[in-house]
Amino acid sequence: MSKSKQKRKAQQSQLQQAGGAAKKAKTTPVLSTVGVGAFEPKFLSTVVAEEDLEITVDTLRALVENPGLIKSKACKDLRTAVFEFRKACTTGFNAAGDSNLTSRISGALADGGHTEARVLLSEMRIRQQKPKLGALCRWVRDLDVISGLAEQRGGLARRTEAQAETLKVLDAILRVTGPVDYSSATPSPTDDEDDDDDDGNAAAAAAAAVTAAVTAEVVSSPQEPAGTLSVRPAWDLRGASSHHHPRRMVYSSVLDGTLASSMPAGLRGQFRVIQTVPGPERNPPNKHPATVYASRDGAIALAPATSPHAPKTTHHSHPTVPGLHLLRDVLSAGECERIIGAAEGVGFAPDAPVRPGGDSPAAAENSVLAHNFYWVVDEEFCRGLWARVEPFVPERVGGRKVRGLNRRFRVYRYVPGAEYRAHIDGAWPPSGILPDDTYQYDASPPDAKQSSLFTFLVYLNDDFSAGETTFFLPSSREGTLNAYPVRPIQGSVAMFPHGETEGSLLHEGTGVMREEKPTAKYVIRTDVEYDVDPGRD
């Protein structure tokens, strides 16, 4: 750019010497009358000076050679201008019929071109093309959609037009990759042949009626943009029969110290640090480091699956959401609370990704994440937990054999205001610990690689309001998503597919409602691992 820089400096020097009047005369732009109806310019110099065009070309080429700078805030107006230029251009690659739809959709979403993205997604659906899983996850992540169901049920907020627009884009994305939910009648939250708990059915039906009433208020409100989200009754299998204990006030016991005092002596010493990643080195970059802990065998004791003291696990399939299962009573209340006590003793870390815009109001509108505790569980604990759930997990998927649970547990604590935005889970290899006692991201055999196909979400408490795991399906009405909340039950596990473009479920961790007393929700996310290559035994 040395030649164009010299020209620019020479021009600036001449302007400074010529004085104010001359400066004004030289810098007054030539106005285009295109669009006004007078005439259409025949020569480029009528609209843009040759020197300015040269500088523009050099600038764009420099940015092409340094693509990381294009994402910066300083280039936002430039990205918008380039996007409009591409739409106006009728020659070259832009006129080609085989343009990469995935890249065009990604670009539109990155620059906030939601209408353009919806048009391109419709084209992708008509052409019967499918994006790769990475692109699908990135599109959903870029939208950063929060349903706001907890706040809206409490009458604290209404969805804005901008939020409604992002939901419509999300709906368009799901229609490209997944089935449409044509169910018109509200499904029973306990329509499950595996569940013979009549008292539980009655209690859940009553809860469904309350949820339906709230849903009607949220969706039909004149202050709410219509046709974006239809909330179905929560799937609540907690029941109210005699063998179900009253809800245990776990978070209250955390705050008053009674949970900590009930933990075994020396429990904190059973956990050690095996990895620390500085915040700037995380992907995406974060304001806080990520610390991974490991436990020693027996740190959290589990009763053997055959023991009379072990909970009696049952399996339930969701009546509408494909591939969604609930494994009830996987952990006992005492086992859940020992995990919470251990995590609180070690300490939860905040999670604050460094987002474009920094601390600006626009960036603050993004979802607030939960605090976390990353834990590579000991082999004894992992074997014991797997023995309880293995009978209910598909032995093979597409010829790929199941191998067990990922030892990397992500324990999360959600307080009111913290939500996990709508997202699609990515696949994980089985993690482990190297001989030098450091973290191993992929512990699968080199010649028999493994990757996860199911999310394994453990609910450690249920003493809170709202806080459901909400799943989203495109409805029969285009532009409207059906939302299916799943009510957490202490000691139970939600299991659902991920790892492939088709079948992976979009979901969110809906926020916990504020109440008179402080409250929080504790969950564990891990994965069910399968062979990458089919046909292995």
Please report, rounded to a whole number, the percentage of residues in the chain having pLDDT higher than 70. 77
Please report, rounded to a whole number, the percentage of residues in the chain having pLDDT higher than 90. 58
Measured CA to CA, the distance from residue 139 to residue 117 in angstroms comes to 10
Read off the tokens for 245: 């204990």
Residue 1 pLDDT more than 60? Answer: no
Measured CA to CA, the distance from residue 414 to residue 486 in angstroms comes to 16
Domain ranges of the chain: 76-129, 229-531
Higher pLDDT, 144 or 275: 275
User: Which residues make Cβ contacts (< 8 Å) with residue 384, sequence separation at least 6?
Assistant: 302, 303, 304, 305
Residue 461 pLDDT more than 70? Answer: yes
Is there a contact between 304 and 386 (Cβ–Cβ < 8 Å)?
A: no
Residue 162 pLDDT more than 50? Answer: yes
Secondary structure of 44-70 as H, E, C letters: HHHCCCHHHHHHHHHHHHHHHHCHHHH
Measured CA to CA, the distance from residue 214 to residue 233 in angstroms comes to 9
Tell me the per-residue pLDDT of 207-254, one tens digit each, with 9 for 90 and over.
444 344 334 333 434 444 445 889 999 999 987 443 556 778 999 999
Residue 201 pLDDT more than 60? Answer: no
Q: Sign of the CA dihedral 401, 405, 407, 408?
A: positive
User: Which residues make Cβ contacts (< 8 Å) with residue 217, sequence separation at least 6?
Assistant: none
CA angle 34, 37, 41 (to 5 degrees): 40
Tell me the per-residue pLDDT of 102-111, one tens digit each, with 9 for 90 and over.
999 998 998 8
CA-wise closest residue to 285 among 371, 374, 352? 352
- Mean per-residue pLDDT, 414-440: 94
* Strands 481-486 and 469-474, sheet pairing: antiparallel
- Mean per-residue pLDDT, 406-421: 93
- Mean per-residue pLDDT, 421-439: 96
- Mean per-residue pLDDT, 346-364: 71
Mean pLDDT is lowest, of 9-13, 43-47, 292-296, for 9-13
* DSSP at 472: E
Residue 457 C-beta-side C-alpha neighbours within 13 Å: 24
Is there a contact between 530 and 474 (Cβ–Cβ < 8 Å)?
A: no
Mean pLDDT is lowest, of 156-160, 445-449, 487-491, for 156-160
3-class secondary-structure state, position 277: strand
| Phi then psi dihedrals of residue 181, to 5 deg | -90, 105
3-class secondary-structure state, position 235: strand
Measured CA to CA, the distance from residue 120 to residue 494 in angstroms comes to 34
Tell me the per-residue pLDDT of 290-332, one tens digit each, with 9 for 90 and over.
999 999 999 999 999 888 889 999 999 999 999 999 999 999 9
Residue 206 pLDDT more than 50? Answer: no
Work out the number of other CB atoms within 10 angstroms of the CB of residue 194: 13
Please name the residue ranges forming H helices in 127-160: 133-143, 149-153
The pLDDT value given to residue 508? 94
CATH 2.60.120.620 is the classification of domain 229-531: yes
Higher pLDDT, 371 or 39: 371
Q: Where residue 23 falls among pLDDT bands split at 50, 70, 90?
A: very low
Residue 62, classified by CB atoms within 10 Å of its CB into exposed (0-12), middle (13-18) or buried (19+), is exposed
Residue 363 pLDDT more than 80? Answer: no
